[in-house]
Each structure stands twice: as structure tokens, then as C-alpha cells.
Chains A and B, each alone.
Chain A
Amino acid sequence: MRSHEEIKSSLGAWLDGELAAAEAAEIQLHVQGCASCLGEKARLEKLESSLKNVLETEASQIAFEPFWAGVRRRIAEEKSWRARGLDWARDFLTLPRLAWAIPVAALVIWFGVFSSWDWPFNSTNQAAVESIDGHGYNVALLREAKTKTAVIWVFDNQESEDDSATTPAAAESAF
């Protein structure tokens, strides 16, 4: 059993014929005995009929011939690609969209140019070795291909006789 307030809020849907039969029957029974709901029903009906009357009255003033003349003219006009492009731009590039586009574009540019974050075009770990002194040891400078990481490898002057070690020489300790 629905409350009075629930029924009152469903009056619109009931008048529109959008409720299930059982629900509609319950509301009808309630409305018949409720002055408040009867008043609400009358107000809703008046609202709709008034709106329909206002618009129908306006529309009745519109003759078909001048209306159709306007449509015909649009059909007949061959819109140039430029005019179509302008139409698209006017429809798509509305002020709210442009207003959002500016800060978004600024953010993208800022992060792309100034950010230290790892963007796809700035994601390498590339280092520059500006100076190196091995103090008598051999030094190999390697660069890993994927991340461009610099690897500085220090090893002894002696040649290794152990072929199982791959470079850098692992079997022969550097020091």
C-alpha cells in the first residue's frame, strides 16, 4: 500500500497512462477519495492543456506556403564546402568547448615541454658521461639500448683467459 506522498508524486505518470494496471488502479481509488490529490490532478491537467493551447495557437498562425518556401530555398541552395566547414565549426567549436580546450592544451604543452615526468617522447634515461678517470684501470662505457642507461664498467688491465665469462669479464675479478 503506497503512502499519500508516493501516490501524489506518481500522479503525472498515472495521468500519462504510463503505470502498470495494478498501480494505476490503486492510484485511481486513492484519488477519488483524496481532495489534495484531486487538486493536484486538476493542476497537472491544466498545466498540460494550457501549454498545448498556447503552442497550438501560435502554430495555427503559421501558413504552410511561406514555411515550405524557406525549406525549399535551403534544399535548392548548393552549400559550398567552405560554408559546410563553417557550419561544422560553428556547431562543434562552441564556446564551452573552446573554453575547456585552452587550459587542456596549455596543460599538454606544459607537460610536454617542461615536465620531468616520463612522457613517451622523453622517456629515456640517457646520461652523458662528461669525464672519466680509471686511475690505471680499464673503463668500458656501455649504453643499454632500450632505456639508454649508461653503464660504466671498471676492470683490470690483465687479459682474461676464462672464455666462459662474457663481457664485461666476470671470471677475472677486476680488483
Chain B
Amino acid sequence: METSEWDLIRKCQQGEVAAYEELAAKYYRRVFMVILGMVHHRDDAMDVAQETFYRAFKNIKRFKGGSNFYTWLYRIAVNLAIDFQRRQKRGSVDLKENMDDVVVETETLGSDPYREVSDRRLGEKLIGAIAELTPDHKAVIVMRAVEGLSYKEIGRIMGCSEGTIMSRLHYARKKLQEKLGSDL
């Protein structure tokens, strides 16, 4: 762990909120991306991500530096996201609406309209397909795609073996390919 990050963590452990703000600024987008991949709705992802950082701050004294800080943070995020999904079921149509908002902005950029339309459709279908996976399968595929984490790191976050991660990824990818078919 970087000396500066560990210094920040030590300050957080002493209750310094300003130090925690620095840590949060470093990781918030990455945590948000992972959570969004699992819960599909921007507002829900925001809620879960904020809760993640709140709980991490509340329990930061328990972080001893045995693993990377982001592994520890992601573990909180993934568990909260899984709990959230189990409590509330929401269709992927919400993110589809969000996706349309985003696409309106990006349409003004780029020089290949066909590719943009094609990518937009794939993105919508992809999110819809991911929504049909189980929380555990969503977590592994999102963490792998977004963060490029190793199977070992993902296994640490989810509390299971590398073999389990490998088989979950294989299953999730297979299911997504089946759903997306010729779009890929």
C-alpha cells in the first residue's frame, strides 16, 4: 500500500473526515461502477455506494492493512449490493431510461453514427442480460470487466476460491453470449 494512502487511512482511523474525503475521491467512481453493474439503477447505485463509504468510515478502525484498501472497500460494496438486490427487485428498464439520457449526450460526439447506434443497442441489451444473472454472477463479471481484478482478488472480496470465481465467470459469460447472440 502507498505510504500516502496508509497515512490517510491512519488519519481516518483517528476520525479525520477530511482525510476520508480524499480517500473517497480516489475510489468513489470505481465503486459506483461496480455497484451500478449489479443494481442497474443509477439512484439505487448512488444510494448503495454512499452507504458503502459511510460503513467503511464507520468500520475503518477494523482495517489492519492485511489486504489492499480497495479490496476491503469492494467487499463492503459487493455485500451491500447483493443485500440490496435480495431486498428489492427492480427491472432493467430503469437503467435503459438512464442509458437513453446518456446516449443523447454522446450522440453529439464521434464520427461513426452507425457504430454509436450499434453500441447503444448493445449496451442496453447487455445491461438487460446482466440483470438476469444472480447477484454473485453479476458481481464477478462486473469486477472483472470494470477493475480487471485477478481471480484471487475477486475471490478475497467475495469470500470464495479462485476456482469458484473461474466457474462463475465462465457461466456468466456464457449466459451473456447466449442472450446477446449475434449482437456480439
Contacts and interface: CB of A to CB of B under 8 A. Distances in A.
A–B touch (CB < 8 A): the answer is yes
Given A12-B169, A50-B122, A75 B57 contact: yes
Interface stretch (A22-30, A54-62, A140-148, A166-174): A54-62
Contacts of B127: 54
A157 interface: no
Interface in B87-119: 87, 98-99, 102, 106, 119
A129 interface: no
Interface of B is mostly: helix
Q: How large is the interface on B (under 10, 10 to 19, 20 to 34, 35 or more residues)?
A: 35 or more
Residue from A17, A43, A51, A64 whose CB has the most chain B CB atoms within 10 Å: A51
Interface stretch (A66-74, A102-110, A116-124): A66-74
Interface residues of A, number: 35
Contact of A72 (B17, B142, B180): B17
A51 B126 contact: yes
A55 B184 contact: no
Contacts of B42: 58
Interface in A27-57: 43-44, 46-48, 50-57
A90 B84 CA distance: 11
A74 B122 CA distance: 37
Given A18-B166, A57-B106, 13 more contacts: A12-B169, A13-B169, A13-B170, A16-B144, A16-B151, A18-B151, A44-B173, A51-B142, A52-B145, A53-B119, A55-B142, A68-B21, A94-B87
Interface of A: 9, 12-13, 16-18, 43-44, 46-48, 50-62, 64, 67-68, 70-72, 74-75, 90-91, 94
13 contacts: A17-B150, A18-B166, A44-B173, A54-B126, A58-B98, A62-B28, A68-B28, A71-B24, A71-B54, A71-B57, A72-B17, A75-B57, A94-B87
